[in-house]
Structure 1
Amino acid sequence: MERVYLDWNATAPLRPEARAAMAEAMDIAGNPSSVHAEGRAAKGLLERARGRLAEALGAGEADIVFTSGATEAAALALAGRGLCGADVEHDAVHAWIDAGLSVDGAGRVTVDDPATSALQLANSETGVVQDLPAGLAVADVTQGIGRLPFSYQWSGVQVAILSAHKFGGPKGTGALILPRGHDLAAQLKGGGQEMGRRSGTENLIGIAGMAAAAEAALRELAGGTWDRVAQLRNILEKAIAADSPDTIFAGKEAPRLPNTTMMVTPGWKGETQVMAMDLAGFAVSAGSACSSGKVKTSRVLTAMGIAGADAGLRVSLGPQTTEDQVLRFAEAWTTRLKKLRASRAA
């Protein structure tokens, strides 16, 4: 049975450009902090990757601090700051904020004071896209890179959080973008790497892959690839709605990521749907990958006031997804829903 991967918001497959850059970095033996020739070669590769990532993300006049991923980047950016946020934020951000900002039924957040607030560019569960206000203290742009136009300089945000594996880079690599000279309290202390903000030998292989993936992702976005993905998302939702008119597509009234559908079907728990579709050959999820495997109600759907917040199923497409795969998923899903309802009516 052919497996169909429809969980791109959890992680995107590794891009060939990233794989090639990582293979090249593996041949660099030196530590970037060493002063000998081998160390200088490693340092040169590190700084070239930093420059390539900065150019791709419009952060030429900013500092980039490499981390182990968006979760560490969020802790570094948010710990001890007492910023405001909303209940739709990712767990990695939500853990550090005072979640008092209001959320409407479409998942849009009202930011009262940007300078004291953290806000996501795009929600990992619903795909709802937020307008990032100028002067925003911290922006989580993890789900948006490569899928939405983003430039750090024109966004006007102070600090941005990102993770490589969401746009086809390696897992376990991320970064913070922040103003040059921005004061930031280090969470990891030691050798003083990353301008004293994040000690520890840099993951040179992962960083090289992240820079290459970012460049490839931006080329793909400029080429219109994600416009085609959006059309597939619309085809999926139309097919589902035709057979299940009571299914809610969370956030459909707001701008969304071009690839994301959060389907809420009353009476059918998301975890049960995930298992059923996995057995049918489709990889989907009930929400954020960082929370999957935990039986709990979606905080995001609850904040939006959606009834049946435990009945959400997230389908997230990618450039490799085909129309045939989308239609086969819709057919398999509706077949199982009809069987479930028939068994309950018997």
Structure 2
Amino acid sequence: MSLVALHTQELGPADAGRYLDMLARSLRAARLNNSFPDRRRVDGTIAALQRAFDHKIYDQLYLDARTGLPNMASFTRVVTDQQMAEGALSRLDDRQELERRRQEAAVFERMADKHDYLTWLKSQELAPVDLHRVLLRRHDPGSGTASFRIELTKLDGSGLYMHLTIELTQVASVWRKRVVDLDQDGESAAASQAFHTLIYRCAALDAETLFIRLHGIEGVTVERVQRGVIGPVLFRLPGEDGQLHTTLEVEGVLGHAWQTWLAGPGAHARGPELLATFASDSAAGDIREEKSNDPLSPLLSAVIEERERARYRQMRERYPFRVFKDRKFVATRGLHGLVKAIGDAAGTRNIVYDLR
């Protein structure tokens, strides 16, 4: 298996179906809470991709080779199909007529399958590739303060699928101009363009770094930054064509462990194997203990360069908060050893759910 474009690998219809089935089962097994992207909508996108392959609408599934997840093209493909469904159905013949003529020529069979796919797709909830919301939590006109929850769900440029939540409070004289605009009714809000851009640019940062970055904005008091991230997903999939399909460009500690496993235990594996990771990362004043239970992401205090430590301590004293990181895994039996190895090396104890 090789790359077909930058950070892009592909699976054919039969292999795509097996991969999507394992991915869907791993998401259900992970027991994700509301700090992560909405699992039901991710399920909807996976189901739409599965149905598209079942009805021979697509010939390839494109994956991000760094994360093992469907890439932007795959996510947006079904969203575009849904947006175009009404118009496309209006141009197709009646479904009963297509069924009657199915045996006449292959084109009628394809049109009938497309009709079924689009009819089903219209009512599905799909995962957004980019959804930004600003929710008003509290508004006190008397004191001139307002509290907001900002939520961003996106397929990040790194290939990871994430949900970011920021809770903050601002003073009226500042928030009307700089960060969040509150409508005259005092009930709805929208981020300013500058703040919107900042959030998008910084979404890939860990919660601690983003907390400090936002606290530097005049008039802003940040209460919580929380991230839930789906991915990376490692898979080893013997293909229908005799090829072996694996996640190709996994980076960092996980990438090293993956290559070691592929050359060792993975070389003797027979069936499909999959390991999905789910990271959570919070920075807030009400966290009891500062700790990283994520073997792939230590605390900033553990990795910061010596020359930056004095400045880092000053920032932490200025903005009192704590950080907690965690990561859980869903793995087929053959990959439990890989999870144990990276956990032992980092000194973490992580939840590992079986993928059966």
TM range (shorter): under 0.3
Greater relative contact order, per chain length (Cα 8 Å cut-off, separation 6+): 1
Q: Kindly indicate which of the two structures has a greater share of residues assigned to strand.
A: 2
- The structure whose Rg is larger is 2
